[in-house]
């Protein structure tokens, strides 16, 4: 029994303990989420009321009540409270030990964040200063770039301006070309296009361009209008408008036969009419004084000559015949007009000497005029003609200069009508010089392409050299150049510039005027072909290295093989040879390719004979295999290019014959060669076996290379 004074103290301790435990339980429940419905309710209630004493009293009342016998439960309650206390202490210790670490970690993280933030701030400051510095440095560049952009824009505007001018000039050139070819409809349509272009440019602010465009349109409009007007007047003239009744149409009127007075009057009247006609012609020539268009007055002269032929033959020539005059009315009329043309040319040529295009155009038109004058109208070459004007020294030297510049056309067609042989020979020398310049240029380009002798450019140069040489050889047989050769012979004989042998060759036509040039081109062609063939032959030799090392002594005989097949070591050789022949055939012309493959075959024949056959010994199987490789595989590669390719491999073919003789024939041949070496009988024996190229000593060497002899045979 407890004393009465201790009774109130006994529950006090548990109450305080309970209060602490409840408080710890609350913290523990908040941290580790432990659920206790009863305790949680009480704790919550005590916490809500804020009265710990009431809470402890309520707890004791609940656990013990008024029954004093229930005090025995105190031990259990105390034990439970003790366990809870210990558990809560452990939690408090654990939490108290973890919180500093967390705080320390958080502080550390905050410190690191602060340092990182400071670094970012420093970087931001450095970057900001760098950007400012870069902007300050780049500011002059930006100014320069802006100035350059402005210049580019200005240049683009200038370029667009020039394009418009170029388009205008192109249309002008087209109109001029159409007018030169008398194609008036196309010239008119082109002028319409130019007018449309003028309309499009009206919105532009380029006043000078607009004025230039408008002036060009007006200029060509006037030219075209004048052209159409002149053509219309010409048509009216040909129609004899205004129509006047011809005296010949008046019936009943006839010229008195025996009236000298009337005859003289008519003759005087005719002379006056002829003078009027001539003055009219001179007036029309004056009308076409445009230096840019010599074809206008030249074509007009030819038209006058053609239109007056009938009148001159029917009306004028009989009058001349009655006066016993030897003059030809048509030729005299033509000569008079040609003299007008010569006066016009003599006045125009000095103005055109320093304009290559206009001078060349004038020469072209004069040459066409001369050709039609002589071929169509029968104008004699002994009369004065335009070629005498072109043969004058100043004009002729300028013509040579222009021909050198515009040497893309055939000059012989242009200078064959020159009156003197010396002038023609000067043109011939110019022609030869141009060909030689082209040859030198081809040689220079060829030297740049020597490393790729199978390339397209190298083969194109080779084809060009061959073509020029062939053309010059054809020209050498041309009648025109044969005549020049005779003229050159006379000139050289007068000047004593050639030896008697050279003069004899020229006189006998054994040589030509192009022999020197042809020899140079042939030498260049031979050098290029040799270099190309040597390159291919080098590749073939590299591919034949395995074939050279074939063990010809140990190969099985033909009877031991079911079917003969190509040696595997020969495949690279044949493939390389086939590919190179195909490449050459595609890139070279037929004549060059024929020379090329024949040169290659000659080298290949010697190589196989010396490096493969003479460098080895052969048993029966080896000789049969070599014969099969050559006759069934190598020779057929060239069957596309000739009917009997084996005739180009004479050394190899005859060597295979000797190596594949049966033992009896080989022994007999050896005896004959040993007994009659160098005699006609030995040669006849070899010929009977089909051996013509190899000498007796070569055949003996080949017989010694055979290893399949009978034991008593040697």
Distance CA 414, CA 436 (A): 20
Q: Are residues 342 and 480 in the same domain?
A: yes
pLDDT of residue 504: 57
Contacts of residue 394, Cβ cutoff 8 Å, sequence gap at least 6: 353
Distance CA 627, CA 245 (A): 101
Average pLDDT, the chain: 79
> Does residue 81 lie in a domain region?
yes
**Mean pLDDT, residues 286-298 taken together:** 70
Which value, to the nearest 10 degrees, does the dihedral of the CA atoms of residues 583, 584, 589, 594 take?
Answer: -140
Q: Are residues 342 and 466 in the same domain?
A: yes
pLDDT of residue 30: 42
Q: Are residues 504 and 594 in the same domain?
A: no
Determine phi and psi for 706, rounding to 5 degrees: -75, 135
Which region among 2-11, 114-123, 234-243, 277-286 has the lowest average model confidence (pLDDT)? 2-11
Q: Which of 580, 579, 596 is nearest to 536 (CA)?
A: 580
Which region among 20-24, 527-531, 568-572, 654-658 has the lowest average model confidence (pLDDT)? 20-24
Structure tokens belonging to residue 689 = 């076996």
pLDDT top residue among 485 and 389: 389
Q: Which of 165, 300, 145, 279 is nearest to 227 (CA)?
A: 300
pLDDT of residue 409: 53
Q: Are residues 397 and 295 in the same domain?
A: yes
Distance CA 693, CA 657 (A): 12
Structure tokens belonging to residue 652 = 């190899």
Q: Are residues 443 and 577 in the same domain?
A: no
> Does residue 508 lie in a domain region?
yes
Distance CA 637, CA 639 (A): 6
Q: Is the pLDDT confidence value at 674 over 70?
A: yes
Contacts of residue 677, Cβ cutoff 8 Å, sequence gap at least 6: 696, 697, 700
Q: Is the pLDDT confidence value at 6 over 60?
A: no
pLDDT of residue 256: 43
Q: Are residues 559 and 482 in the same domain?
A: no
Structure tokens belonging to residue 455 = 């390339």
Burial of residue 246 (number of CB atoms within 10 Å: 0-12, 13-18, 19+) = exposed
Distances (CA, A) of 270 to 250, 323, 337, 661: 19, 15, 19, 106
Sign (positive or negative) of CA dihedral 14, 20, 26, 32: negative
> Does residue 49 lie in a domain region?
yes
pLDDT of residue 37: 39
**Mean pLDDT, residues 630-638 taken together:** 93
pLDDT top residue among 254 and 545: 545
Q: Is the pLDDT confidence value at 319 over 90?
A: no
The answer to whether 44 touches 22, Cβ cutoff 8 Å, is: no
pLDDT top residue among 577 and 425: 577
Reply yes or no: is the peptide bond before residue 306 cis, omega within 30 of 0.
Answer: no
Choose the final residue of a domain: 149, 165, 185. 149
pLDDT of residue 531: 93
Instruction: Quickly list H helices, 416-551.
Output: 421-448, 456-476, 479-495, 500-507, 515-543, 545-548
Q: Is the pLDDT confidence value at 596 over 80?
A: yes
CATH of the domain at 651: 1.20.58
What's the whole-model pTM score? 0.47
Determine phi and psi for 36, rounding to 5 degrees: -145, 100
pLDDT top residue among 240 and 178: 178
Q: Are residues 41 and 127 in the same domain?
A: yes
Reply yes or no: is the peptide bond before residue 234 cis, omega within 30 of 0.
Answer: no
Q: Are residues 497 and 566 in the same domain?
A: no
Burial of residue 301 (number of CB atoms within 10 Å: 0-12, 13-18, 19+) = buried
The secondary structure of 469-493 as a DSSP string is HHHHHHHHTSHHHHHHHHHHHHHHH
Choose the final residue of a domain: 149, 173, 199. 149
Domain count, the chain: 3
Q: Is the pLDDT confidence value at 65 over 90?
A: no
Structure tokens belonging to residue 291 = 């230096």
> Does residue 27 lie in a domain region?
yes
The answer to whether 171 touches 193, Cβ cutoff 8 Å, is: yes
Distance CA 669, CA 685 (A): 8
> Does residue 447 lie in a domain region?
yes
> Does residue 208 lie in a domain region?
no
Q: Are residues 358 and 503 in the same domain?
A: yes
CB atoms within 10 A of CB 612: 21
Q: How confident is the model at residue 493 (pLDDT cuts 50, 70, 90)?
A: low
pLDDT of residue 69: 65
Name the helix (H) or strand (E) containing 305: helix 294-307
Q: Which of 432, 350, 338, 352 is nearest to 387 (CA)?
A: 338
Q: Are residues 462 and 386 in the same domain?
A: yes
pLDDT of residue 529: 94
Q: Is the pLDDT confidence value at 29 over 80?
A: no
Q: How confident is the model at residue 602 (pLDDT cuts 50, 70, 90)?
A: very high
Distance CA 579, CA 569 (A): 17
- Domain of 103 in residue numbering reads as 12-149
Q: How confident is the model at residue 312 (pLDDT cuts 50, 70, 90)?
A: confident
Orientation angle between helical segments 590-607 and 456-476, nearest 10 degrees: 110
- For the chain, the distance separating the N- and C-terminal CA atoms, rounded to the nearest angstrom, is 151
pLDDT of residue 290: 58
Choose the final residue of a domain: 149, 172, 195. 149
pLDDT of residue 572: 94
Which region among 146-155, 409-418, 691-700 has the lowest average model confidence (pLDDT)? 409-418
**Mean pLDDT, residues 360-379 taken together:** 88
Q: What is the pLDDT of residues 426-456, one digit of tens each?
A: 777 887 888 888 889 988 988 888 888 888 8
pLDDT of residue 376: 86
Q: What percent of the chain has pLDDT over 70?
A: 79
| Helix, strand or coil, per DSSP, at residue 418 | coil
pLDDT of residue 204: 85
Q: Which residues pair with 618 in a beta bridge?
A: 706
pLDDT of residue 262: 57
Which region among 68-77, 364-373, 605-614 has the lowest average model confidence (pLDDT)? 68-77
Q: What is the pLDDT of residues 195-226, one digit of tens each?
A: 998 898 888 888 888 888 899 999 999 888 88
Which region among 2-11, 159-168, 198-207, 293-302 has the lowest average model confidence (pLDDT)? 2-11
Contacts of residue 489, Cβ cutoff 8 Å, sequence gap at least 6: 503, 506, 507
Q: Is the pLDDT confidence value at 33 over 50?
A: no
> Does residue 163 lie in a domain region?
no
Q: What percent of the chain has pLDDT over 90?
A: 25
Q: Is the pLDDT confidence value at 511 over 60?
A: yes
Q: Are residues 511 and 555 in the same domain?
A: no
> Does residue 261 lie in a domain region?
no
Q: Are residues 396 and 457 in the same domain?
A: yes
């Amino acid at each position: 029994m407890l004393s009465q004074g201790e009774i109130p103290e006994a529950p006090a301790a548990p109450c305080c303990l309970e209060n602490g435990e409840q408080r710890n339980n609350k913290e523990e429940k908040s941290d580790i989420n432990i659920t206790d419905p009863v305790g949680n309710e009480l704790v919550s209630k005590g916490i809500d009321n804020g009265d710990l004493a009431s809470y402890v009293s309520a707890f004791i009342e609940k656990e013990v009540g008024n029954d004093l016998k229930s005090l025995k439960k105190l031990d259990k309650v105390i034990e439970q409270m003790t366990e809870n206390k210990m558990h809560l202490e452990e939690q408090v210790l654990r939490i108290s030990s973890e919180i500093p670490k967390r705080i320390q970690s958080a502080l550390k993280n905050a410190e690191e964040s602060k340092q990182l933030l400071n670094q970012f701030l420093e970087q931001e400051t450095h970057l900001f200063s760098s950007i400012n510095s870069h902007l300050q440095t780049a500011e002059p560049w930006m100014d320069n770039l802006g100035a350059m952009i402005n210049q580019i824009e200005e240049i683009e505007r200038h370029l667009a301006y020039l394009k418009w001018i170029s388009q205008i000039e192109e249309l002008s050139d087209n109109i001029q070309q159409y007018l030169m070819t008398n194609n008036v409809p196309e010239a008119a349509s082109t002028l319409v296009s130019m007018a449309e272009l003028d309309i499009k440019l009206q919105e532009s602010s380029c006043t000078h361009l607009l004025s230039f465009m408008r002036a060009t349109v007006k200029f060509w409009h006037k030219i075209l209008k004048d052209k159409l007007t002149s053509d219309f007047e010409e048509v009216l003239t040909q129609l004899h408008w205004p129509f006047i009744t011809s005296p010949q149409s008046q019936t009943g009127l006839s010229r008195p036969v025996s009236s000298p007075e009337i005859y003289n009057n008519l003759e005087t009247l005719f002379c006056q009419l002829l003078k009027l006609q001539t003055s009219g012609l001179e007036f029309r020539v004056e009308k076409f004084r445009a230096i840019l268009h010599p074809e206008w007055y030249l074509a007009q002269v030819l038209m006058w000559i053609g239109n007056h032929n009938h009148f001159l033959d029917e009306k004028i020539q009989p009058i001349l015949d009655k006066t016993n005059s030897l003059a030809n009315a048509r030729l005299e009329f033509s000569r008079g007009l040609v003299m007008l043309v010569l006066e016009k040319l003599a006045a125009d040529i000095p103005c055109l000497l320093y304009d290559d295009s206009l001078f060349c155009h004038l020469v072209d038109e004069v040459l066409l005029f001369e050709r039609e004058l002589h071929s169509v109208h029968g104008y004699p070459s002994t009369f004065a003609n335009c070629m005498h004007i072109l043969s004058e020294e100043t004009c002729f030297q300028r013509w040579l200069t222009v021909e050198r510049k515009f040497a893309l056309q055939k000059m012989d067609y242009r200078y064959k009508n020159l009156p003197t042989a010396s002038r023609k020979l000067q043109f011939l020398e110019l022609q030869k010089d141009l060909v030689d310049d082209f040859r030198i240029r081809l040689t220079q380009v060829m030297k740049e392409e020597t490393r790729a002798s199978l390339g397209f450019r190298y083969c194109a140069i080779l084809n060009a050299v061959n073509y020029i040489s062939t053309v010059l050889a054809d020209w050498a047989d041309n009648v025109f150049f044969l005549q020049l050769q005779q003229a050159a012979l006379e000139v050289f004989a007068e000047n004593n510039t050639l030896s008697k042998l050279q003069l004899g060759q020229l006189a006998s036509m054994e040589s030509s005027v192009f022999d020197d040039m042809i020899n140079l081109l042939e030498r260049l062609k031979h050098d290029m072909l040799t270099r190309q063939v040597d390159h291919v032959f080098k590749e073939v030799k590299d591919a034949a290295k395995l074939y050279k090392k074939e063990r010809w002594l140990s190969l099985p005989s033909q009877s031991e093989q079911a079917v003969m097949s190509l040696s595997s070591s020969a495949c690279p050789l044949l493939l390389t040879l086939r590919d190179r022949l195909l490449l050459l055939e595609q890139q070279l012309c037929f004549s060059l390719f024929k020379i090329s493959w024949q040169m290659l075959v000659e080298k290949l024949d010697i190589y196989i004979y010396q490096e493969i056959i003479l460098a080895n010994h052969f048993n029966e199987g080896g000789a049969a295999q070599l014969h099969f490789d050559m006759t069934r595989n190598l020779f057929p590669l060239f069957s596309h290019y000739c009917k009997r390719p084996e005739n180009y491999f004479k050394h190899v073919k005859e060597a295979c014959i000797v190596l594949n003789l049966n033992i009896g024939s080989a022994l007999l041949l050896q005896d004959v060669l040993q007994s009659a070496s160098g005699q006609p009988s030995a040669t006849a024996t070899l010929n009977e076996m089909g051996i013509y190229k190899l000498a007796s000593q070569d055949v003996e060497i080949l017989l010694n290379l055979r290893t399949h002899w009978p034991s008593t045979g040697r």
